[in-house]
Amino acid sequence: MDIASISAVVAAAGVLVGVGFTILELRNLVKTRQTDLVIRLYSHFGSREFLEARKTVMDLKFKDYSDYVKKYGRFGQFEAVSEVCMFFEGIGVLLHRKLIDISLIDDLFSPISIRIIWEKMKPVVEGWRNQFNEPETLEWFENLYEKMQKRELRPQQILQ
């Protein structure tokens, strides 16, 4: 092999190493951004405003959509309901887009809270969907609930 061939091989190897390093750095950057996003969401989840909104939602007493409308109006306690439901809608979108892992949601965002709030608000959401002919209303919150339910129902793996 002559010097020109050797230098071409060395240059090509240098480019490949550089590309590999860049790919690793991009993966690290994506992980860092995802972590930052999750920490900001978790911080909001524990904020006084969110906790107060969640308590307001949990304190609502109704049997079905018509009872809800009778007691609270069509958009009763709208600020609290939207604060809580839109938060979980956002988590559901992130899960759907594979920007957050379901095990991380399970670890940080209280699956019990997701279940209880969805089951409580489901008649209201279905009422809004029917009344306004918007079947996609809070669809990602519902999807999040369904995926968390499947996760809870799957057999637990035995750790050895």
Residue 149 clears pLDDT 80, i.e. is over it: yes
Q: What percent of the chain stands above pLDDT 70? A: 96
154 vs 25: which has the higher pLDDT: 25
Residue 11 clears pLDDT 90, i.e. is over it: no
Question: Which amino acid is it at 156?
Answer: Q
pLDDT of res. 23: 81
CA atoms within 13 A on the CB side of 120: 18
What is the pTM (predicted TM-score) of this model? 0.78
Q: How far apart are CA 26 and CA 54, in angstroms?
A: 37
Write the pLDDT tens digit of every residue in 102-132.
988 998 888 889 999 999 999 999 999 999 9
Residue 155 clears pLDDT 70, i.e. is over it: no
Residue 18 clears pLDDT 90, i.e. is over it: no
Domain parsing of the chain, residue ranges: 1-34, 46-153
143 vs 4: which has the higher pLDDT: 143
Residues near 145 by beta carbon (within 8 Å), at least 6 away in sequence: 88, 114, 115, 118, 119
Q: What percent of the chain stands above pLDDT 90? A: 55
Alpha helices in 46-156 (DSSP H): 48-59, 65-72, 78-96, 102-108, 111-132, 139-153
66-70, 139-143, 156-160: which has the highest mean pLDDT?
139-143
- Do the Cβ atoms of 88 and 105 come closer than 8 Å? no
pLDDT of res. 129: 96
pLDDT of res. 160: 41
Mean pLDDT across the chain, nearest whole number?
88
Q: Count other Cβ atoms within 10 Å, centred on residue 5.
A: 9
141 vs 9: which has the higher pLDDT: 141
